Amino acid sequence: MDATANNGGGQLSRMRDRFPELGSGVLPVEPYISPAYFELEKRHIFKRVWQHVGRESEIPNPGDFFVVDLPASDASLIVVRGHDGVIRALHNVCSHRLNKVVYESRGSVRRLNCKFHGWSYDLTGRLVGVPDEKYFSGLDREQCGMTPASADLWQGFIFVNVDPHPAMSLNDFLRPVYADLEGYPFEKMTNCYRWRTVVNCNWKLALDAFQETYHVRYVHGRSIADALRSDEEGSMLPIDCLCGDVHRRLSMAGNPKTVYGNPKAATTVDKSTAQAGTQRVGKIASAALRAGRGATKLSFNPADLPPGINWRKDPDWVFDINVFFPDFYVSTRPNYYQAYNFRPIAHNRTLFDARVYYPEMKNAGGRFYQEYMKCVLRDVLLEDLGTLEQIQAGCETGPKTHMILHDYEVMVRHNAHVVERLIREGEARAQVGLS
């Protein structure tokens, strides 16, 4: 099945034509290089929307916490599980002289204690201890707790919103596009590997490199290009694309004769896995796939996966790209998933935080397969990251003022469209005195 859609008249149209509201012209470079534009993104997007920060399994017990810095929201948050089991987000600022309450990146505590003057807070942020309290005239503890942000869960992922009273609930924000992904076994993928680095490029440029396939046969020509299905001209077109109000999804077809392109690897032993790894791959890749067959402790029946997985039911489906606006990317497969954040630091700096989650393996062969896949992903990420600073430099030199887009780079166009629309709407609210 190709990446087209039936328009009702029997003719197939290009993917771009399904979303006429996105336009078909060139994209301006200015939003990728302008400090002023980044300030508008901060004000109208990152200080208003829900942002992914981690998994609830990272803080399983009362008192467990981690700190997440959100520069584009001008915030540092403590994400902590309370004694009541509820996960909360608190601004990491003491009410006394505004010192950071927590210096560590993660840990476990009974209380949150400021190291400057010893003020202490319970796990809900309520002020419970003030040394020399009698010398504070008129101090009202109930009014001097830590400032809360909003926190909520979706399928085990923790999302925060720096607005304590967000205009939209997390469910209302996500479910119009991702309700049919609920039930995917995220919680069963317990082996996590993580890479973090700061890239000197705009966050949109970084994200854009991961939400189109036009680059694969060039950037990844020596690694995974053969893992995706190609047409007779070598084009790697997606199966389908869905663009919501702010979120977007892309479904991809693979080459099952490769390790990276075989969604059944290490979860089933059948004819497809028996044949996989016999063509166009190296000896190590073939050995990894053979070693990993049936090695997972979990059994994944495709019939048990939610309808949002491979929603077009393509027989060569390999993975779906899910972009949770603004900066969270999840690639879902039947045997593992990838989760990346493209965290803005400045108009030309991005924290890339990549995690990959696998099921637990039951033997050494399975671990070998998993280590191989981890190394392949590491190399693929290095290939992707290797282009980003060069693109940013090209944008900033100034000879080009616009970018030209491929008809199937729809998700790049959608992201630019959404960002511009939210800024325009935010500026309109500001004009009439609304926040």
Residue 141 main-chain phi, psi, to 5 deg: -55, -40
Q: Which long-range contacts (CB under 8 A, 24 or more apart) does 257-261 make?
A: 257/281, 258/224, 258/226, 258/227, 258/285, 259/227, 259/285, 259/286, 259/288, 259/289, 259/372, 259/373, 259/376, 260/224, 260/227, 260/373, 260/376, 261/224, 261/226, 261/227, 261/228, 261/229, 261/318
Q: What is the pLDDT of residue 194?
A: 95
Residue closest to 88 by CA, chosen among 158, 35, 25, 18: 158
Q: What is the pLDDT of residue 130?
A: 96
Dist. CA 208–CA 201, nearest whole Å: 11
Dist. CA 264–CA 256, nearest whole Å: 8
Q: What is the pLDDT of residue 314?
A: 93
Neighbours of 333 (CB within 10 A): 23
Between helix 283-292 and helix 364-397 the angle, nearest 10°, is 130
Q: What is the pLDDT of residue 268?
A: 54
Helix, coil or strand: residue 429: helix
Neighbours of 185 (CB within 10 A): 17
DSSP 177: H
Q: What is the pLDDT of residue 349?
A: 98
Q: What is the pLDDT of residue 275?
A: 45
Residue 67, CB-side half-sphere exposure with 13 Å CA sphere: 17
Dist. CA 96–CA 93, nearest whole Å: 9
Q: Which long-range contacts (CB under 8 A, 24 or more apart) does 329-334 make?
A: 329/207, 329/210, 329/211, 332/181, 332/184, 333/263, 334/263, 334/264, 334/267, 334/300, 334/302, 334/305, 334/309
Q: What order of strands is seen across the sheet that includes strand 127-129?
A: 112-113, 120-121, 127-129
The residue assigned the tokens 């400032």 is 147
Dist. CA 65–CA 78, nearest whole Å: 7
Q: How would you write the pLDDT of the chain (435 residues) with one tens digit per residue?
A: 333 343 333 333 578 788 999 999 999 999 999 999 999 999 999 999 999 999 999 999 999 999 999 999 999 999 999 999 999 999 999 999 999 999 999 999 999 999 999 999 999 999 999 999 999 999 999 999 999 999 999 999 999 999 999 999 999 999 999 999 999 999 999 999 999 999 999 999 999 999 999 899 899 988 888 889 888 888 889 999 999 999 999 999 998 777 777 776 655 555 444 444 434 446 777 777 777 777 777 777 778 899 999 999 999 999 999 999 999 999 999 888 999 999 999 999 999 999 999 999 888 888 888 888 888 899 999 999 999 999 999 999 999 999 999 999 999 999 999 999 999 999 999 999 887
- For 385-407, the DSSP string reads HHHHHHHHHHHHH-S--EE---T
Q: What is the pLDDT of residue 222?
A: 84
Q: What is the pTM of this model?
A: 0.92
- Where do the domains of the chain lie, and which CATH numbers do they carry? 5-29+183-425 (3.90.380.10), 51-175 (2.102.10.10)
DSSP 121: E
Q: What is the pLDDT of residue 369?
A: 85
